[in-house]
Structure 1
Amino acid sequence: MADTHRIHFEPVDIEMEVTEDEKILDAAFRQGIHLMHGCREGQCSACKSYVLDGDIQMERYSTFACNDSEVEEGYVLLCRAHSFSDCTIELLNFDEDELLGGVPIQNVRTTVRAIEAVTRDIVSLRLEAVEPSTFEFKPGQYSDLTIPGTEEHRSFSMATTQSTPGQIEFLIKKYPGGKFSGMLGGEDPRQGISVGDDIALTGPYGSFTLKDGHVLPVVCIGGGAGMAPILSLLRHMNETDCTRPVRFYYGARTGEDLFYLDEILELGKGLRDFVFVPCLSESADAVPPVLSEVETGMVTDVVDRREDELAGCEVYLCGPPPMVDAALELLDSRTVPNDQIFYDKFTSPAFD
């Protein structure tokens, strides 16, 4: 049996136990401690922390997330770190409200209830929680779905809310050769995922959530299957009669890549000063008539020319990594404070 050690986190004065064979971030989740995290694969630096004392070693990680000089100084990525002694770690990024108030990680057996194509390359996957019969999460979070027949998983954001705790929807972009997405809606159901199949779900993860008591206007920037967590936020805000102004910029290639428009516009009727701006990067042809306005160009360029007061807003980002990177550059140039920016940046294997 692996040895167990104690981790003390500064400056929050929280302690927990960790075994040598589990990652520190996973140990925190197991004990209900919600540390900041992103990709959980050592590539995004969201969980970067500083070792004040103790013996910590890391599994393989990206030097983009934590370079060699940082490692020599004592920085680690908690999602890749193992402890081999009692340790004291300084958290560089944390949310005091979330630390001990996050939703515990759950392992849920689910059954596929529906698979529906919503665009030429995005599929709605609807699951029903079976054991247990409910799944608790905060709007905007994501979960791991196990690829049937393997021990691998892929991460996808929930599009639903706690108004349907046993029914969970994911919006999944299909990629050529995708190990998970390629199993959805294939021509041969014997080689794919079908209605009635079981899928193991673990979660929730992520900090892409609305914070209680915050009052700043909300700007959402999404693209592709990044619609899912934003739709969850909008559904939640509508259900809770949230009074914060909301503007939603959604990037797609053409009008044929837009979906759930009727619901988005209907949700907007229950929100304050709601504006929905589809941004088409390739062609403005085939725009559905239900839309009153459409912009052309990359979604970040549209946001740049339309939003004058980004520094006075909370900004929620979800989409392909290049879109998230471009949006972060824009927000940095507009001096938007880091604590007003929320995103979960999945890495490439988590998208398929």
Structure 2
Amino acid sequence: MGDKHRVRFDPVDLEIEVDEDETILDAAFRQGITLMHGCREGQCAACKSFLLDGDLQLDRYSTFALADYELEEGYVLLCKGHAYSDLDIELINYDEETLRSAKPLRDLTAEVVEVAGLTHDISLLRLRPLDGVALDYHPGQYVDITIPGTSEHRSFSMATTPATPGELQFVIKRYPGGRFSGLLEGGPDGIAAGHELALRGPYGAFTLRERSERPLLFIGGGAGMAPILSLLRHMTEAGVDRPAVYYYGARTAADLFYLDELKALENVLPDFRFVPCLSESNGDGSATGAPGELECALGLVTEVVERGEPELAERDCYLCGPPPMIDAAMALLTGAGVPHDRIFYDKFTTTAPG
């Protein structure tokens, strides 16, 4: 262990103790503080803050998350920052509702119940926590799953809610040669029912802001379905009746999944719409998909949102999916007058393939 220092956060009047050997973000987790964060790998910029005073040094990070000129101006990444003196840091992104609502981090072992294909490149992974140890988490959060036989991990969002403590579901995009996702493709060395996996979590601030009564806009794509589905399932369990619409972007109808459940939610949630969006037509110029030849909107998901939602400024917006989709959605929403503090996103970055 290294020397310990005090880190004060403005403008929330909050102070924590940080060891030199841990990142500022990890120190906050340890003390029950939920600072804004995403990938925790120095790639997504969700934890970007401004160093007002003190000696802070950064581990390796991506310049896409923190440009060189930003570093020179005083911006830092809390997921890669180590304190070597007392620090005064200004939080750029923070949420009073979630700041002090951290769930305790815990390590647990879970048994694989099922690995099933949802599309040609997306799998469902169902796990059952062992030893009676349930994971306490906020809907929309994620865990780290250790790659079997290694000390490496991959991060995946739960599609379930704490209302089903005996099961955790994950929607995982498979990448060719992926260190973890490739193990979901079957074969003698793959992950299968009965195997055990090590988990650590929960992490993430992609959670429903319960105090708000504003209408909700969800925009997702790919495996970004998981945390949004968790939020929607939570809304049904908690009786949330805020108007909500979910735009989900896919390439073709073959890339859509969970359609039955999402359409059924329109009959459960009092004012909810699900709008599947296809960037490519079915070859005949149509945009339909099973079940029942479900009508889909044609175009990139952000294009469909722009056409279908002329009044965006008064919504709370939740975005989850690949970085290009998030970047396009952010530009659309901010251009339409949505304040930054009403846009919540989970950008699915990757540290390495799969």
Q: Does 1:152 align with 2:159?
A: no
1:283 equivalent in structure 2: 281
CA contact (8 A) 2:42 2:80 kept: yes
2:7 aligns to what? 7
Q: Who is 2:222 aligned against? A: 224
Which residue number corresponds to residue 266 of structure 2? 268
Task: Tell me if 1:243 matches 2:241.
Answer: yes
Structure 1 residue 218 displacement after superposition: 0.9
Alpha-carbon distance in structure 2 between the residues aligned to 1:202 and 1:127: 13
Distance 1:292 1:120, change over 3 A: closer
Q: Could you tell me how far 1:307 is from its partner in structure 2?
A: 0.5
Q: How far 1:326 moved relative to its partner? A: 1.1
Contact 1:170 1:228 in 2 (8 A): yes
* Distance in 1 of aligned mates of 2:70 and 2:320: 28
Match in the other structure for 1:305: 307
Q: Report the Cα offset of residue 283 of structure 1.
A: 2.5
Q: Deviations over 1:62-107 (max 9, x none)?
A: 2232222332332211100111122222222211121111222222
Asked if the contact 1:9–1:90 (Cα under 8 Å) also holds between the matched residues in 2, the reply is: yes
Is the alpha carbon distance of 1:42 and 1:31 closer, same or farther for their aligned partners in structure 2, counting shifts above 3 Å? Answer: same
- Deviation, structure 1 residue 120: 1.1
In the aligned structure 2, how far is the partner of 1:217 from the partner of 1:88? Answer: 36
Q: Deviations over 1:298-335 (max 9, x none)?
A: 11111110101111111111111111111111112211
User: Which residue of structure 2 aligns with residue 90 of structure 1?
Assistant: 90
Deviations 1:263-287 (A, max 9, x none): 1122221112221111111233672
Contact persistence 2:263–2:274 (CA under 8 A): yes
What amino acid is aligned across from residue 121 of structure 1 in structure 2? Answer: D
1:33-87, Cα deviation, whole Å (9 max, x unpaired):
1101112111222111222222110011222322223323322111001111222
SS of the residue corresponding to residue 277 of structure 2 reads: strand
Q: How many residues align?
A: 350
The more displaced of 224-233 and 48-57 is 48-57
The equivalent of 1:343 in structure 2 is 345
Asked whether the equivalents of residues 111 and 199 of structure 1 are also in contact (C-alpha less than 8 Å), the reply is: yes
**Cα 1:193/1:156, change in 2 over 3 Å:** same
Extract unaligned runs of 5+ from structure 1.
none
Query: Quick check: 2:177–2:353 contact (8 Å CA) kept in 1?
Result: no
Per-residue CA deviations over 1:133-162 (Å, capped at 9, x if unaligned) read: 200111111111111111111111110011
2:203 matched residue in structure 1: 205
User: How many angstroms apart in 2 are the aligned matches of 1:181 and 1:158?
Assistant: 15
The alpha-carbon distance between structure 1 residues 231 and 291, as it changes in their structure 2 partners (threshold 3 A), is farther
Kept after mapping to 2: 8 A contact 1:109/1:132: no
Q: Is the 8 A contact 2:320 2:348 kept in 1?
A: no
Deviation of 1:292 (Å): 4.4
Alignment partner of 1:348: what SS?
coil
Task: Assess, with a 3 A threshold, how the Cα gap between structure 1 residues 9 and 321 changes in structure 2: closer, same or farther.
Answer: same
Identical-residue share of aligned pairs (%): 59
Task: Please point out which of 316, 324, 327 is paired with 1:325.
Answer: 327
Residue type at the aligned position of 1:199: L
In the aligned structure 2, how far is the partner of 1:151 from the partner of 1:110? 17
Q: Secondary structure of 2:292's partner?
A: coil
Mapped contact 1:49–1:90 kept (Cα < 8 A):
yes
Q: Cα distance, 1:131 vs. partner?
A: 4.6
Cα-to-partner distance string for 1:146-194 (whole Å, 9 max, x where unaligned):
11111111111110011102310000011111111000032x23x1111
Q: Pick closer, same or farther for the CA change 1:291–1:27 going to 2, 3 Å.
A: farther
Which whole-Å CA distance do the structure 2 matches of 1:38 and 1:157 have between them?
Answer: 11
For residues 350 and 261 of structure 1, what CA distance do their matches in structure 2 show?
30
1:225 is paired with a residue of what secondary structure? Answer: helix
Q: Tell me how far apart the structure 2 counterparts of residues 121 and 63 of structure 1 sit (CA, whole Å).
A: 29
1:37 aligns with 2:37: yes
Contact preservation (8 Å) 1:317, 1:324: yes
Q: State how 1:181-200 maps to structure 2 within 5 Å.
A: 181-186=181-186, 188-189=187-188, 191-200=189-198
Conservation of the 8 A alpha-carbon contact between 1:49 and 1:78: yes
Helix, strand or coil for the counterpart of 1:336?
coil
Residue 16 of structure 1 aligns to a residue whose secondary structure is strand
Question: Partner of 1:164 in structure 2?
Answer: 164
Q: 1:167 to 1:294 in 2, by over 3 A?
A: same
Q: For residue 21 of structure 1, give the secondary structure of its aligned residue in structure 2.
A: coil
TM-score norm. by structure 2 comes to 0.94
